[in-house]
């Protein structure tokens, strides 16, 4: 009953300790921190996506403004060309003086950078060349002559401003013989609409920093109106009012705000390539920025492609650092909540440990009281039995006293051995040595002890201690230790089934005869020991010496823990 109560208390303590160990003291705070960080990252991602979307919309707005500015400027130039075509429609014979007055009036080069000038190219039909040269000479262009008059001839006869005309011998230049210009001129002629040329190097390019250029042609027909049919338009074509452009000067004048806003751009005539590049802004155009856009412009029959991207100086929105602020704040809050949770969990665990310690202390105290009560009762019963037997078989008072004291000493020695180990039990070898030391020591000439290490439960140790004392006392009085030549061998073995077999063997003493009656010692050894150990005890009185064989089963391996008092060093 005592053992089952003790085992129950130990199981209770193990359960309580297990609950404390199984509680993940760091899991909950760690999970809170991880969850907070995940939510922070997710929220930061959403904020960053929204911020980038707003930034892209803002960027697209700046790009659209820049793109509209280019389109608007070119439409202005086309409007000027149409005005020039209207001049020729109003007067069939526009003189150099009239054209110059028109050019000065519109102030094209002064108002709009990038335009090199405005000119008029006349279609020279076969047989009209001499008359055209004579006319130009009469108007003061004494150096005028037709250049490359072979094939279809479109000669430049007017070109303003005057400094441009004087810097390069352009009057009389036949533009129709160059494929890129010819394509635009033929398209303008056939459609009756302004036509933008592809990438060229304009004839008037005299600056040191030469740039790519292009031209816009506005057709002029005889009769002042645009004929309805293609054949009529080709037949009645009179010439072209045109403007030559330097692409870089034009785009820099149109897009100064783009540069100030931190935009880089590149303009291509058609699909982007090195051959079609008209101009790219200063600075790198590697396209490494996430803010980029592509726009196209359909101008006078051709398509320009303009690539924009934000460079280092681009003015970003005021919420550019909002994502980092959110991530930093979210991380700090997550760590703070995790720390607070950890403190709460630590406080809870400390309280649980205190409760378990209190329960363990109470169980330990009760167990000790029960154990003490049981052991006191057993000890008193043992002392009472020893006293009764000693009195019953003693011859006189002196012998009774001697046997009684010897047996009490044996009992106390076993108790001392158990007390030293806090009643966890005792080593079998140490128990045998303790009982045999008073009779000549152990493992000497007269006594030999051998066997593996075996740990005995407290009750088993007390019972065996008493048995070894009785065997040793009988050996000294009647057996091997009564004479100088005798000796005692104590050995034991443990089987795989944890069955302990102890053999007490005496040799070299007087011849042994079986006693007629069983004394106290025999009853302690055979009856009491077998009952206490739930085993078999055989006490044989062989002529050569007493042989006592004790066989019983040890507790299962690990069951020694159930013998430990609560709070002991386990």
Domain CATH code at residue 99: 3.30.450.350
Task: Label residues 345-379 b or e (16+ Cβ within 10 Å = b).
Answer: beeeeeeeeeebeeebeebbeebeeebeeebeeee
- Pick from 407, 508, 536: which is nearest to 448 by CA? 508
> Residue 336 falls within a domain, yes or no?
no
Point out which residues pair with 153 in neighbouring strands: 124
Name, in order, each residue with C-beta under 8 angstroms of 276's C-beta and a sequence gap of 6 or more: 199, 268, 269, 270
Rounded CA-CA distance 540/302 in Å is 128
Neighbours of 181 (CB within 10 A): 24
> Residue 83 falls within a domain, yes or no?
no
Q: What is the pTM of this model?
A: 0.54
> Residue 520 falls within a domain, yes or no?
yes
Q: How many domains does the chain have?
A: 3
Element (H, E) at 548: strand 545-553
Mean pLDDT of 74-89: 89
Task: Say if residue 370's pLDDT is above 80.
Answer: no
Mean pLDDT of 506-530: 76
Structure tokens at 339: 């720390």
Mean pLDDT of 359-372: 71
> Residue 547 falls within a domain, yes or no?
yes
CA distance readout (Å), 550 to 132, 397, 437: 148, 33, 21
Indicate the pairing of strand 263-269 with strand 277-280.
antiparallel
Q: Are residues 235 and 130 part of one domain? A: yes
Q: What is the pLDDT of residue 570?
A: 32
Q: Are residues 261 and 227 part of one domain? A: no
- Using the structure block, give the residue that is written with the tokens 């494929």: 179
- Across the chain, mean pLDDT equals 78
- In tens, the pLDDT along 116-126 reads 888 899 998 88
Q: Are residues 194 and 155 part of one domain? A: yes
Rounded CA-CA distance 267/257 in Å is 16
Rounded CA-CA distance 259/282 in Å is 9
Mean pLDDT of 251-280: 81
Rounded CA-CA distance 273/267 in Å is 10
Task: Say if residue 185's pLDDT is above 70.
Answer: yes
Find the domain containing 530 and state its range: 394-563
Q: Which among 43-57, 239-253, 345-359, 513-527 has the top mean pLDDT?
A: 239-253
What is the percentage of the chain residues whose pLDDT exceeds 90?
15
Alpha carbon 276 to chain centroid distance? 47
């Amino acid at each position: 009953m005592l053992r089952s109560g003790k085992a129950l208390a130990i199981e209770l303590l193990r359960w309580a300790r297990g609950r404390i160990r199984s509680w993940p003291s760091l899991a909950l705070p760690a999970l809170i921190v991880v969850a907070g960080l995940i939510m922070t990252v997710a929220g930061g991602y959403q904020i960053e996506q929204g911020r980038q979307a707003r930034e892209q919309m803002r960027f697209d707005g700046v790009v659209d403004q820049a793109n509209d500015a280019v389109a608007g400027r070119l439409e202005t130039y086309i409007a000027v060309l149409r005005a020039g075509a209207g001049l020729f429609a109003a007067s069939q014979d526009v003189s150099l003086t009239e054209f110059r007055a028109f050019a000065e009036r519109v102030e094209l080069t002064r108002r709009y950078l990038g335009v090199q000038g405005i000119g008029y190219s006349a279609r020279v039909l076969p047989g009209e060349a001499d008359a055209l040269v004579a006319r130009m000479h009469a108007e003061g262009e004494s150096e005028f002559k037709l250049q490359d008059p072979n094939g279809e001839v479109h000669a430049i006869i007017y070109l303003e401003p005057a400094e441009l005309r004087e810097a390069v011998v352009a009057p009389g230049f036949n533009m129709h013989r160059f494929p890129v210009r010819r394509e635009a001129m033929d398209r303008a002629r056939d459609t009756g609409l302004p036509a933008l040329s592809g990438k060229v190097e304009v004839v008037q390019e005299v600056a040191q920093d030469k740039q790519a250029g292009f031209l816009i042609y506005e057709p002029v027909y005889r009769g002042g109106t645009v004929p309805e049919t293609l054949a009529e338009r080709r037949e009645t074509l009179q010439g072209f009012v045109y403007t030559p452009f330097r692409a870089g000067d034009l785009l820099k004048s149109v897009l100064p705000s783009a540069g100030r806003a931190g935009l880089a751009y590149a303009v291509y005539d058609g699909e982007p390539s090195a051959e079609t590049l008209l101009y790219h802004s200063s600075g790198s155009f590697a396209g490494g920025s996430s803010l980029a856009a592509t726009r196209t412009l359909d101008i006078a029959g051709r398509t320009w492609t303009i690539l924009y991207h934000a460079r280092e100086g681009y003015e970003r929105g005021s919420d550019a650092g909002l994502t980092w602020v959110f991530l930093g704040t979210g991380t700090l809050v997550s760590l703070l909540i995790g720390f607070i949770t950890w403190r709460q969990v630590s406080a809870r665990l400390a309280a649980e440990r205190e409760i378990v310690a209190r329960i363990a202390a109470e169980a330990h105290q009760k167990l000790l009281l029960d154990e003490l009560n049981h052991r006191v009762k057993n000890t008193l019963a043992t002392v009472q039995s020893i006293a009764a037997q000693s009195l019953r078989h003693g011859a006189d008072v002196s012998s009774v006293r001697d046997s009684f004291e010897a047996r009490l000493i044996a009992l106390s020695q076993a108790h001392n051995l158990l007390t030293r180990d806090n009643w966890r039990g005792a080593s079998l070898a140490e128990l045998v040595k303790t009982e045999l030391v008073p009779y000549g020591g152990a493992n000497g000439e007269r006594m030999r002890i051998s066997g593996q290490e075996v740990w005995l439960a407290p009750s088993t140790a007390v019972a065996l201690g008493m048995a070894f004392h009785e065997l040793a006392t009988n050996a000294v009085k009647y057996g091997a230790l009564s004479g100088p030549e005798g000796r005692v061998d104590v050995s034991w073995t443990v089987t795989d089934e944890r069955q302990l077999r102890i053999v007490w063997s005496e040799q070299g003493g007087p011849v042994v005869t079986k006693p007629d009656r069983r004394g106290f010692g025999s009853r302690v050894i055979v009856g009491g020991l077998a009952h206490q150990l739930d085993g078999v005890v055989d006490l044989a009185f062989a002529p050569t010496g007493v042989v006592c064989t004790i066989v019983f089963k040890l507790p299962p391996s690990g069951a020694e823990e159930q013998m430990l008092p609560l709070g002991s060093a386990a």
